[in-house]
C-alpha cells in the first residue's frame, strides 16, 4: 500500500515539474517578444541568425519547426 502511494506521488511530482518548465519557457518567450518589440519601437531593426543543424549526419541551413515556432512566438516572420 505504501509503495503504491509513493508511485502515485511520483507522476504528480513529474507533472508539477513539467508545468513549471512550461511556465518558465512561456515567460522567457514573452520576455524575448517584449524585448524585440521595444527594439522595433525605438526604430532599430532586429535579426536572429541560426547556425544550422545536423540532420542525419548532414549539415542543414533549413529552419526546424522548433526554430519557426520560436520566431512566431517572438513575432518575427522567417524570411524563408
What's the pLDDT tens digit per position in 33-76? 888 888 889 998 777 766 666 666 666 677 778 888 888 877 77
Confidence (pLDDT) at 77: 72
pTM score > 0.75 for this model?
Answer: no
Distance, in Å, from the CA atom of 46 to the CA atom of 77, rounded to the nearest integer, reads 11
Are 76 and 36 contacting, i.e. CB atoms less than 8 angstroms apart? Answer: yes
- Here the cell at position 72 is 512566431
How many angstroms separate the first and last alpha carbons of the chain? 57
Interval 5-25: pLDDT, tens: 556 677 888 889 988 988 888
Closest CA to 71 of 42, 27, 33: 33
Amino acid at each position: 500500500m505504501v509503495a503504491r502511494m509513493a508511485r502515485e506521488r511520483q507522476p504528480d511530482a513529474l507533472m508539477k515539474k513539467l508545468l513549471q518548465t512550461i511556465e518558465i519557457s512561456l515567460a522567457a518567450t514573452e520576455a524575448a517578444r517584449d524585448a524585440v518589440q521595444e527594439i522595433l519601437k525605438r526604430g532599430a531593426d532586429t535579426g536572429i541568425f541560426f547556425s544550422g543543424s545536423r540532420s542525419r549526419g548532414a549539415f542543414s541551413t533549413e529552419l526546424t519547426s522548433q526554430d519557426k515556432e520560436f520566431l512566431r512566438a517572438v513575432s518575427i516572420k522567417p524570411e524563408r
